[in-house]
Amino acid sequence: MDADLNSLLDGNSTSPDASSLSSFAMPAGFATLFTIFMIVTSIASLVVLVLYIMNMVTTYRAHKASIEMRNILREMNERDKARSFSAPTPEPVQAATSASASTPTSSDSSSGS
């Protein structure tokens, strides 16, 4: 039994199944190309994964900043509304009072000469 296992591992089998095992063996050139292809594919996958993670972090930060900006604007709006409701409205100035105050009286002009 051990001899059969060792012969299968070495590729030297006398059984009829030995030919089916040799059909699964890859040529040396194909094995080299397949290895290079797998390494390049793995590296490309890692690069795409890193770029995707960076994109997700950037998107998260942008959303977080926009939400923070919205909250700041909402707070500023609430402050402005609170100030406008609590501040007293100024009294309207009447035109007759301002017109009489701006024109000099006749007694002021005669006393100066």
Q: What confidence tens digit (pLDDT) does each residue in 13-46 have?
A: 555 554 555 556 778 788 889 999 999 999 999 9
Place of tokens 């009447």: 94
Q: What confidence tens digit (pLDDT) does each residue in 75-103 have?
A: 999 999 888 887 666 676 776 565 555 55
83-99 CB burial, b ≥16 within 10 A, e <16: eeeeeeeeeeeeeeeee
pTM of the complete model: 0.47
